[in-house]
Structure 1
């Protein structure tokens, strides 16, 4: 129970109060008037200790407030979510930092970190809280191991920055174990799973009702494009009508999400390229455009291939979420939208496609990337190699 609390001064417009519990313990409280995204004040409390006079406690309270002024100035709040948002803003101004990286950090903060530890004062976060958050992310399947490592990378850099600002006394991340990657059971969808996925999206693509199920049809079309071309989700969402012409597809841009807003950029590794479309996919795209013409007020060369009802491009994160829900509903317990890219690459190589041409279609700078990351062995490979081994053993007879 508090028996005393009185204002003792201000630090950069932040009102500082001194209080004492009935146990005799003193504390300082700061009222932060401009918390990020909030209109109301936020209160931050700091324990000072026992056995001191009010003058000594007031001096310690103001000294503590001085150490926090840098953190309050950049974030407007000492909550973990606000401090991390300020750190990401700081990274955005660092020369050489990829905009896509800060965009990914913002998405991870908003969707995964903030719900877990965002409301906790940054000075009160402990290593076991972060470790428990990692464990929940991994066990729920909400994030891939590589994404959990990105979360760790973000938090590790942030806590070093917080120490420089004086917002925390210790770098708690030095006591948090780096998340361990686990190798995926399979990196591609086998034939029976591809068949199940295609059967699931077929009714959606066949529904030609004007303006109905706009997002679902765009999502289904994205799946068909990924299976037929191996494009990344950002590249698919960045496609415009002018990129599809005479049976060919031009990959000129990708769509990313920066600070919650969609932005166009150059494809990964500057992999601008032209691809010949499978006839079935070309026909499906032309049917998709004809369907869009029945309900969109105006279409043209710059109309997004994947667009919402209002004509805006659909975001890659929305496509990924929809696809994950689709495959889980089909009883497929593994894989994400990016697995469609693995499936496409593996199918081309299994069909004896030229590796150099496969790498070009996928937008890889090196064939080694194609072999190391996107080509997966199938049971049929072992059988074919056994037959070949038998021929070699016979001297090629």
Structure 2
């Protein structure tokens, strides 16, 4: 990628923080889809020949240049309409990713790392409303761990009353 090179008004530069550069593990289905996309992109690159501009982009035009924001927004609208789901912005995909992970019990620290948050506090401040049953889950977990070793002796003490 060209450092601070401008293409169609887009500026390529280093991320704003160290946390912004990270490896994010992907599920096998996504990895397979990206491999298939790379094969198709290689064919497009060959066809473009000398017109191809290599910016190291995963998704780009038929000449290797970045898509215009308006094109991405328009494609997103088509996809949302085709999926028959309520309108969402492109950035909402990030929020959906975080929300689904937390909802399925992924530790907030892991979600923070995937999002590039410098602190898990940012993640919890933004998404903790998605975890309304955390106190009930904690009570159930400690009850399961301790089992009868606490409840029976306590019950005997209270019965003596």
Pairwise same-fold verdict (TM > 0.5): yes
Cross-structure match for 2:158: none
1:364–1:296 CA distance, 2 compared to 1 (3 A): same
How far the C-alpha of 1:373 sits from its partner, in A, is: 2.2
Higher helix share: 2
Unpaired segments ≥5 residues, structure 2 = 149-161
1:283 corresponds in structure 2 to 32
Please report how far the alpha carbon of residue 292 of structure 1 lies from its aligned counterpart in structure 2 after TM superposition.
Answer: 1.4
Q: Shift of the alpha carbon at 1:291?
A: 0.8
The answer to whether 1:366 aligns with 2:115 is no
From 315, 320, 324, the counterpart of 2:77: 324
The separation in 2 between residues aligned to 1:375 and 1:318, in whole angstroms, is 34
Rg (Cα) greater in structure: 1
CA apart distance, 1:264: 0.9
Q: Aligned pair 1:262/2:17, yes or no?
A: no
Change beyond 3 A, Cα 1:391–1:296: closer
Query: Which of 273, 297, 302 lines up with 2:22 in the alignment?
Result: 273
Tell me the distance in 2 between the aligned counterparts of 1:273 and 1:387: 31
| Correspondences of 1:123-138 after superposition (within 5 Å) | none
CA distance in 2, matches of 1:300, 1:279: 29
Does the alignment pair 1:305 with 2:58? yes
Report the Cα distance in structure 1 between the residues aligned to 2:130 and 2:25, rounded to whole angstroms: 26
- Can you list the C-alpha shifts for 1:118-153, whole angstroms capped at 9, x where unaligned? xxxxxxxxxxxxxxxxxxxxxxxxxxxxxxxxxxxx
Q: Is the 8 A contact 1:324 1:337 kept in 2?
A: no
Distance in 1, Cα, partners of 2:88 & 2:28: 27
Tell me the residue number matched to 2:94. 341
> Are residues 272 and 303 of structure 1, via their aligned partners in 2, closer, same or farther at CA, if it must alter by over 3 Å?
closer
What pairs up with 1:94-105 in 2 under 5 angstroms?
Answer: none
What CA distance in whole angstroms lies between the structure 1 residues aligned with 2:91 and 2:22? 19
Q: Is this contact kept in 1: 2:54–2:64, CA < 8 A?
A: no
Larger RCO (CA within 8 A; separation ≥ 6): 2
Gapped regions of structure 1 (runs ≥ 5): 1-239, 241-252
Q: Residue 289 of structure 1: SS of its match in structure 2?
A: helix
- Residue 304 of structure 1 aligns to a residue whose secondary structure is coil
TM-score (norm 2): 0.65
TM-score (norm 1): 0.30
- For the aligned residues, what is the CA RMSD? 3.6
Distance 2:12 2:75 in 1: 21
User: How far, CA to CA, are the matches of 1:371 and 1:275 in structure 2?
Assistant: 19
Q: For residues 351 and 300 of structure 1, do their structure 2 counterparts lie closer, same or farther at Cα, with a shift above 3 Å needed?
A: farther
Deviations for 1:230-288, whole angstroms, at most 9, x for unmatched residues?
xxxxxxxxxx7xxxxxxxxxxxx9x9x99x61211233445111222222212111111
Say which SS state the counterpart of residue 276 (structure 1) adopts.
Answer: coil
1:294 aligns with 2:43: yes
Q: How many residues of Structure 1 are paired with residues of Structure 2 in the alignment?
A: 140
Q: Provide closer, same or farther for how the CA distance between residues 368 and 321 of structure 1 changes in structure 2, counting only shifts above 3 A.
A: farther
Give the superposition deviation at 1:362. Answer: 0.8
